[in-house]
Structure 1
Amino acid sequence: MKKLKLFLWIWLTALSSFGQTEVVKKDTLFEKAPEGLVRFYYDDHYYLVDKDCQFKSIERLSQFIVAKNAFHGEFKDFNRNGTVVLTGYYNEGVKEGAFKAYHPNGALKWEATFKENRPIGDWKYYYPDGKPMLTVNFDNGGGTISDYWDRLGRQRVVAGEGNYEFKMPFEFYNEYGFPFFERKGKIKNGLPSGYWTTNMVDDKNKKVLFTEEVYDKNGVLTEGFNLFQDRGYRVPLTIIPSQSFIIGERMLFKQCNFDDYSGFNAYLSDKLNGAFAANPSFQNMEEEFAYRVSLSNEGDPEMITLSQPLKTTALNKYLEMVIKDIPYYFPSIDEQGQPIADTLTISGKLSISEAGVFNFNSLTVEREKQP
């Protein structure tokens, strides 16, 4: 993942002369559209991608204020089939009024109202068949769960009281290889209360207990324990659906490869940066490194070797410790879409500031067998 480095006004100025001067650029992330609009290209997590990228899932038509780097006026987002998936209104980059999202079948997915960029009142979610799913209230600032219906149509939470059991997808890479997680517990006064659990869920709906938590009467987590990592924590996973469309406001883009799209590269950078504390003994340095991973068809690392060590040899043993602690990689896929065993080469850079702060960046993944 990279933040958009070229100012949008440069791109849009170039677009204004389209047809007169050939514009050469590596990625087409947005283009001039009729009636003074701009067409933006996103993946399904609302990161900008090239218009021809296989991960492009959403196109947005909107006015855009170049000087403020902000959306303005009504906008519409479309999926690959040209179906509207989101509508709303920005006032110079500030969300105002009604926002509505739609399922692929055209049914209303959720609806919310914003005032000065913040949700107000009820944020209502619906199942694809149009039946109500969840209502989250924002009258007091933070969201509280008002009502919840399960997939059988049974109302499990009424006026902020009841039992909650909700399955959500992991948006990006996680170390455990599960595509979903399920949050389960009691709701009181719209907030989690008492004993809660999180299950990891595979694509066959097999569940494995992941975390155990205890919340006080104010909905504050007092105890949290990760059974996979055998350690406590203080920041729990969300209990309501997250909305990635907000990422689109930040103008972030990703390269067109699966490891960037899936969030693995970002995870790996965070993993390395989190493992190396600032150390004034190392200053003003920039070095490259690479390692190779033999991977099973299930994504399990079977052999890891540091193929290009850091020049500062004192750091290599720590680097090896961190990369050998990564338990899961996305497996490579063959032309038939089946997972295969493969060898991956992960390369990147380590920059160390004058204050001794470590920054692992520019990470890339090369897969030998994946087409």
Structure 2
Amino acid sequence: MMKKVSLFIVACLAHLCSWGQTDSVSRDTLFEKAAEGLVRFYYDNHYYLVDKDCDFKSIERVSQFVVAKNAFHGEFKDFNSRGTVVLTGYHNQGAKEGLFSAYHPNGVLQWQVTFKDNKPVGDWKYYYPDGKPMLTVNFDNGTGLITSFWDRLGRQRVIEGDGSYEFKMPFEFYNEYGFPFFERKGRIRNGLPSGYWTTNMVDEKNKKVLFTEEVYDKNGMLTEGYNLFQDREYRIPLTIIPTQSFVNGERLISKPCTFDDYSGFNAYLSDRLNAAFAANPSFQNTEDEFSYRVTLDKQGEPELITLNQPLKTQALNKYLEMVVKDIPFYFPSLDEAGEPIEDALTVSGKLTISEAGVFNFHSLRIEREKQP
């Protein structure tokens, strides 16, 4: 579950001069007053706000903050848990301006780009941890064009927007396929994907399994996309350039300090429920809550699922029960030694149905009986 905290931040920052932990903070310290009128914000590595004592806290930002505009202002620096600078930049009343520089954990420049009016301009240059060039994406025309690419052996594979491209990226959050990485491979023409492209799932031992096949036209537009795991066509492809989560930091969204929230598993459950329930005009303007109990074995496989709190709309409960019983895996609970154990989970959430009959399952939360 993620919480929008912008209004909360406005209220609290307005009283930073007399800052103190209060009941309205819900026991979470997401930011604190720093020296010289600055504010220190606490993030996980995906740039979601977390409590400063949370195990998943990995980034601290020190910056000015304009309460009236609910926005960062001036120069800022982000530090990792070892106190090493990982990102520097400048905001003008919330808009990114000027040079932004990110750094690998070893202090080597990771990427660098200039922003104007909150948009990247010119070349966005990426580098490997040893400092060698990796990728250049040009934004002169407003759309990112890959102009140069070097593989890990230092060979330039894309020159002036033309060549072959093969790049491995991590999944940011939980995926039901069980692979930590995916690899995009294909041709680049005039800075854009062209012709036949593939996506491979990649495990920790670099074993690859074909995941998708795609065809792009001369304008870089996807004309055919097929997911081999799901046996279906699609129209929106995975990214071909590194994603940057630092922009999440400007949205001021927090996450509870649980692994299910941090890993994105709760968001995955929401997405799975929303995908299963199509829009139905017979159900409109509904606010409801639900919960179910699931017992897990040590591998995280569910053994028994029962609805604790059914939906008030009885006609939906049979289908809800069918959908949750089709979820094949939950993260297992751990004992004090970090070993997986059998446990029982209570999954609760909310359902909002719009005037058009669109279902939105949200605010999911998992409580574990044997693990705090």
Q: Give the TM-score, by structure 1 length.
A: 0.93
1:234 is aligned to 2:252: no
CA contact (8 A) 1:31 1:40 kept: yes
Shift of 1:71: 0.6
- Number of residues of Structure 1 aligned to a counterpart in Structure 2: 369
Deviation at 1:100, TM superposition (A): 0.2
Residue 47 of structure 1: aligned partner: 48
2:98 matched to which residue of 1?
97
1:237 Cα shift?
Answer: 0.3
Distance, in Å, in 2 between the alignment partners of 1:263 and 1:299 is 16
1:200 is aligned to 201
Question: SS state of the match for residue 7, structure 1?
Answer: helix
**Structure 1 counterpart of 2:152, which letter?**
R
Going from structure 1 to structure 2, the CA distance change for 1:295 and 1:214 (only over 3 Å counts) comes to: farther
> Could you say what secondary structure the match of 1:8 adopts?
helix
Q: Which residue of 1 aligns with 2:344?
A: 343
Give the CA deviation at 1:343: 3.2
Q: Hey, what does 1:224 align to over in structure 2?
A: 225
CA distance in 2, matches of 1:284, 1:169: 39
Q: Deviation at 1:296? A: 4.4
Give SS of 2:10's match: helix
CA deviation profile, 1:152-206 (whole Å, cap 9, x unmatched) = 2121111111111111111112121211111111111111111111111122222
* Matched residue, 1:29: 30
1:151 positional shift = 1.3
**Runs of 5+ unmatched residues, structure 1:** none
1:195 is paired with a residue whose SS is strand
1:126 match: 127
Number of the residue aligned with 2:139: 138
Q: How far apart are 1:369 and its partner, in Å?
A: 3.5
Distance apart, 1:37 and its partner CA: 0.6
Aligned to 1:114: 115
Structure 1 Cα separation of the partners of residues 6 and 37 of structure 2: 24
- How far the C-alpha of 1:121 sits from its partner, in A, is 0.8
Deviations 1:225-271 (A, max 9, x none): 01111000000000000000001111111111111111121222222
Matched, 1:252 2:261: no
Structure 1 CA distance for aligned equivalents of residues 206 and 370 of structure 2: 30
Q: Which residue of 1 aligns with 2:161?
A: 160
Name the CA distance, whole Å, in 2 between partners of 1:280 and 1:232: 26
Q: Hey, what's the Cα distance between the residues in 2 that align with 1:218 and 1:303?
A: 51
Residue-by-residue CA offset, 1:62-90 (whole Å, 9 max, x unaligned): 01111011111100000000000000011
**Match for 1:202: what amino acid?**
D
Q: Which residue is 1:65 aligned to?
A: 66
Task: State the Cα distance separating 1:141 from its structure 2 match.
Answer: 0.9
**Which amino acid in structure 2 is aligned with residue 124 of structure 1?**
K
SS of residue in 2 equivalent to 1:359: strand
> Per-residue CA shift, 1:87-133, capped at 9, x if unaligned?
00111111111000001111101001111111111111111111111
Q: Deviations over 1:251-296 (max 9, x none)?
A: 1111111111111212222222233233343344433322233434
Conservation of the 8 A alpha-carbon contact between 2:195 and 2:215: yes
* Residues 271-282 of structure 1 aligned to structure 2 (within 5 Å): 271-282=272-283
Give the deviation of 1:335 after TM superposition: 3.0
* Residue in 1 that maps onto 2:330: 329
Say if 1:5 and 1:358 are closer, same or farther in 2 by CA, change over 3 A: farther
AA at the equivalent of 1:71: F
Which blocks of at least 5 consecutive residues in structure 2 are unaligned?
A: none
Alignment RMSD (CA, Å) = 1.9
2:244 maps to: 243
Taking a change above 3 Å as real, the CA distance of residues 152 and 323 of structure 1, as seen in their structure-2 partners, is: same
Cα distance between partner residues in 1 of 2:313 and 2:205 = 46
After TM superposition, give the deviation of residue 340 of structure 1 in Å: 4.2
Paired with 1:351 and 1:64, the residues of 2 have a C-alpha distance of: 34
1:93 counterpart letter in structure 2:
G
Provide TM-score, normalisation by structure 2: 0.93
Q: Is the 8 A contact 2:54 2:257 kept in 1?
A: yes
How many Å separate the matches in 2 of 1:209 and 1:189? 26
Structure 2 counterparts to residues 291-370 of structure 1, below 5 A = 291-370=292-371
Distance change >3 Å, CA 49–CA 238, structure 1 → 2 = same
Whichever residue aligns with residue 233 of structure 1, its letter is Y
Asked if 1:86 is matched to 2:50, the reply is: no
Relative to structure 1, is the Cα distance of residues 147 and 353 closer, same or farther in structure 2, using a 3 angstrom cutoff? closer
Q: Secondary structure at the match of 1:310?
A: coil
Give, as a single letter, the amino acid of the residue that structure 2 aligns with 1:189.
Answer: N
In structure 2, distance between residues paired with 1:240 and 1:22: 41
Deviation at 1:334, TM superposition (A): 3.4
Identity among equivalent pairs (%): 77
Q: Give, in whole Å, the separation in 2 of the partners of 1:300 and 1:167.
A: 29
- The change in CA–CA distance for 1:199 and 1:304 in structure 2 (over 3 A counts) is farther
CA distance in 2, matches of 1:117, 1:201: 34
Other structure's SS at 2:120 match: strand
